[in-house]
Amino acid sequence: MKTVEPQICNIAMEEVGVLHAYLAGIAGSKTMIDVGAHHGTAARPFLEDGWRVYGFEPDVRNHSLLSELAREHPLFHMDPRAVSDVAGECMPFFTSEESTGISTLRPFRESHVKAGEVGVTTLKDFFDDEGISEVDFLKIDVEGFDFSVLKGMPWASVSPTVVVCEFEDRKTQPLGYTVQDMIRYMQEHGYTVLVSEWFPIEAYGSAHRWKRFVSPPCTLADTGWGNLLCFRDDFSRDLFDEALIEFCGGFTQNVERRLSNQRKRNALLQKQVIGLQSDIEAFENSLSWKLTRPLSQAFAWAKALLHSPPSKARGAR
């Protein structure tokens, strides 16, 4: 599979959804590390399958949703720290009103403003503290610092089955690295890398357009972005294809279910509209009768008044 074009299923791609299907039958410890947990969307399907998920999210605007997720799923553990390759007491943290999904340790939009400072840890330190020795899925989405998170991994002791991390050269070149550096790094650590490329972002906070899957070596658009899907050396391409098909099928069924529900809602709404129109017509008829009678009486009175002879002025002789 050199390249998989989006026409295979004509859907909105969700790499984590595909990887959830891929890992369903091969996960051992059922442990997920979610760096940049945001609203917990990526973690939820794993939690529903009984996985233990450790989610890192330093943006306090997202904490209420993650706390709610933790109440629903006790196996979800939220950590408010940022993750990098060097641990620290605190670092400046920037947020943007454009989207709660582009908070970062280094601003890359004019809309970014300093929101405060956050504590920073590394995955090595975190794994040591928590006694974690096995991870099935590592998901990273930290707006430019994905490579730093990878460099803070204790690869000699923990080698996740699957790693997914974001790339976008426009964000990362000022930090000193490109997507090709990330690809080489993961390959050097024994991973097979598959690139999920997306078209350039038109606006943050809105839907984005997926372009293709492609295997390195490959040429990527300078203004493009996407995710690297990294599989340990026992990567099964057939299993990935099956997971992709399953995801597409599940997505299609979900769309069909939503369309069916929408049709039912539309039919009910149409009945309600027809009933409302009937009520309005009945009201108008009632209103017409109630208004016409007093108005006709008023016109009759005015007409009689106009045709009556003028009365003598009071006191006239």
Q: What is the pLDDT of residues 218-261, one digit of tens each?
A: 999 988 899 999 999 788 888 998 998 888 875 545 545 555 56
Q: How confident is the model at residue 4 (pLDDT cuts 50, 70, 90)?
A: very low
306/213: higher pLDDT? 213
- CATH class for the domain made up of 3-235: alpha beta
**pLDDT for residue 272:** 75
Q: How confident is the model at residue 78 (pLDDT cuts 50, 70, 90)?
A: very high
For the chain, what are the domain ranges?
A: 3-235
**pLDDT for residue 13:** 85
**pTM, rounded to two decimals:** 0.77
Nearest-angstrom CA–CA distance, 247 and 50: 19
Task: Give yes or no for residue 264 having a pLDDT over 80.
Answer: no
**pLDDT for residue 7:** 43
Task: Give yes or no for residue 39 having a pLDDT over 80.
Answer: yes
Q: What is the pLDDT of residues 88-111, one digit of tens each?
A: 889 999 999 999 999 999 999 999
**pLDDT for residue 295:** 59
Task: Give yes or no for residue 296 having a pLDDT over 70.
Answer: no
Nearest-angstrom CA–CA distance, 249 and 80: 36
Q: What is the mean pLDDT of residues 33-60?
A: 97
Numbers of helices and strands, H then E, in the chain: 8, 13
Q: How confident is the model at residue 215 (pLDDT cuts 50, 70, 90)?
A: very high
Neighbours of 7 (CB within 10 A): 7
**Under DSSP, is residue 99 helix (H, G, I), strand (E, B) or coil?**
strand
**pLDDT for residue 316:** 42
DSSP label at residue 62: G
Task: Give yes or no for residue 287 having a pLDDT over 50.
Answer: yes
Q: What is the pLDDT of residues 151-165, one digit of tens each?
A: 999 999 999 999 999
Counting Cα atoms < 13 Å in the Cβ hemisphere of 17 gives 14
Q: How confident is the model at residue 284 (pLDDT cuts 50, 70, 90)?
A: low
DSSP string, 278-301: HHHHHHHHHHHHHHHHHHHHHHHH
Task: Give yes or no for residue 136 having a pLDDT over 70.
Answer: yes
